[in-house]
């Protein structure tokens, strides 16, 4: 175990996922392919929504920013992970480590609130369709989006202020592939009880508020759908929510498993698998979920491609 003088704030060492060079090479290839798909998928989703006028609705306004968040927090983690896998250097500076952690918490917390806003949008669309355009006005959607970013920034700032008080006087070796709160708290030689409690309260509040909003929205949606007499009507209503429900289930499942427990109980095995899933895999899955399961997006892609072909022909 490396010992160090915490007064000069030297580099941390990210141990990564494995010590085997062969496995590191395989993982790096997989992560690179996933990251390329993430970039292409999310940028593609943003461009399709921007180029197709029929997708200029509140639902796709939020989906644009979901793609931006997925792309951003994958970029905050994956490139540095690939560098560490492909080179002998596994160092990350003190400032770089805390910057990575700040932006990850900011973007992940913002995504929690954005998914809540998307659930409320589906609630209004299905339960109050006649007033949908009035309720989900451009100004209100912008307010929901701005509120998501503000609350995400608050969560990340509190997390950063708490973590900045920690001393790392015994070792600079982080038993993970990126700088997250759990492995850093497990590494610290400070008394972390109060800090763990504060972080737990803020992280728990973020998850609880967003889950309450999502649950309440879908309880009302389910109640409304069950009152629809037409089977086709029920199927159509369910289809508008299916992609969002799947994205919420995957995202919140891994987040709750990883963060709503004692940070001192950080486990190299299960926690790292969950971390890989929500930092690297989920940002790739969301554009696939929303494109493959959404007829409007498929039609929009077809319209944009036909418009592009006509432009080239002329």
List, for residues 194-245, the tens digit of each pLDDT value: 888 998 898 888 888 999 999 999 999 989 888 888 777 777 777 778 888 8
More confident residue, 147 or 4: 147
- Res 77: pLDDT: 92
Of 94, 90, 100, the C-alpha closest to 275 is: 100
Mean of all residue pLDDT scores within the chain: 84
Q: Residue count of the chain, please give it.
A: 314
The residues, any chain, with a CB within 8 Å of residue 252's CB and separated by 6 or more, are 112, 207, 211
- Res 275: pLDDT: 77
Helix axes 231-259, 94-127, angle to 10 degrees: 160
Domains of the chain: 8-313 (1.20.1070.10)
The segment with the largest mean pLDDT, out of 2-16, 154-168, 233-247, is 154-168
List, for residues 233-271, the tens digit of each pLDDT value: 777 777 778 888 888 888 887 777 665 555 454 455 556
Place of tokens 């905050």: 76
Please state, in angstroms and rounded to a whole number, the distance separating the CA atoms of residues 99 and 76: 9
Please state, in angstroms and rounded to a whole number, the distance separating the CA atoms of residues 118 and 172: 41
């Amino acid at each position: 175990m490396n010992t160090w003088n915490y007064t000069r704030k030297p580099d941390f060492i990210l141990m990564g996922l494995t010590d085997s060079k062969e496995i590191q090479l395989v993982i790096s290839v997989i992560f690179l392919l996933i990251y390329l798909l993430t970039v292409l998928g999310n940028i593609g989703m943003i461009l399709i929504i921007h180029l197709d006028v029929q997708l200029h609705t509140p639902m796709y306004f939020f989906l644009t920013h979901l793609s931006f968040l997925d792309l951003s927090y994958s970029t905050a983690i994956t490139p540095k992970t690939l560098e560490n896998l492909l080179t002998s250097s596994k160092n990350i500076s003190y400032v770089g480590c805390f910057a990575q952690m700040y932006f990850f918490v900011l973007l992940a917390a913002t995504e929690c609130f954005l998914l809540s806003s998307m659930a409320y949008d589906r609630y209004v669309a299905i339960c109050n369709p006649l007033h949908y355009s009035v309720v989900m006005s451009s100004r209100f959607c912008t307010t929901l989006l701005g509120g998501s970013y503000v609350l995400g920034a608050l969560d990340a700032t509190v997390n950063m202020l708490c973590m900045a008080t920690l001393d790392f006087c015994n070792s600079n070796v982080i038993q993970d592939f990126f700088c997250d709160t759990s492995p850093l708290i497990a590494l610290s030689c400070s008394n972390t009880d109060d800090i763990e409690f504060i972080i737990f309260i803020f992280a728990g509040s973020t998850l609880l508020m967003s889950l309450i909003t999502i649950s309440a929205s879908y309880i009302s949606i389910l109640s409304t759908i069950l009152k629809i007499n037409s089977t086709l009507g029920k199927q159509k209503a369910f289809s508008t929510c299916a992609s969002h429900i799947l994205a919420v289930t995957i995202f919140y499942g891994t987040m709750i498993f990883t963060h709503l427990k004692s940070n001192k109980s950080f486990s190299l095995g299960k926690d790292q698998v969950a971390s890989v899933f929500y930092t690297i895999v989920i940002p790739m899955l969301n554009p696939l979920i929303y494109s493959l399961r959404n007829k409007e997006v498929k039609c929009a892609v077809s319209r944009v491609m036909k418009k592009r072909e006509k432009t080239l022909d002329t």
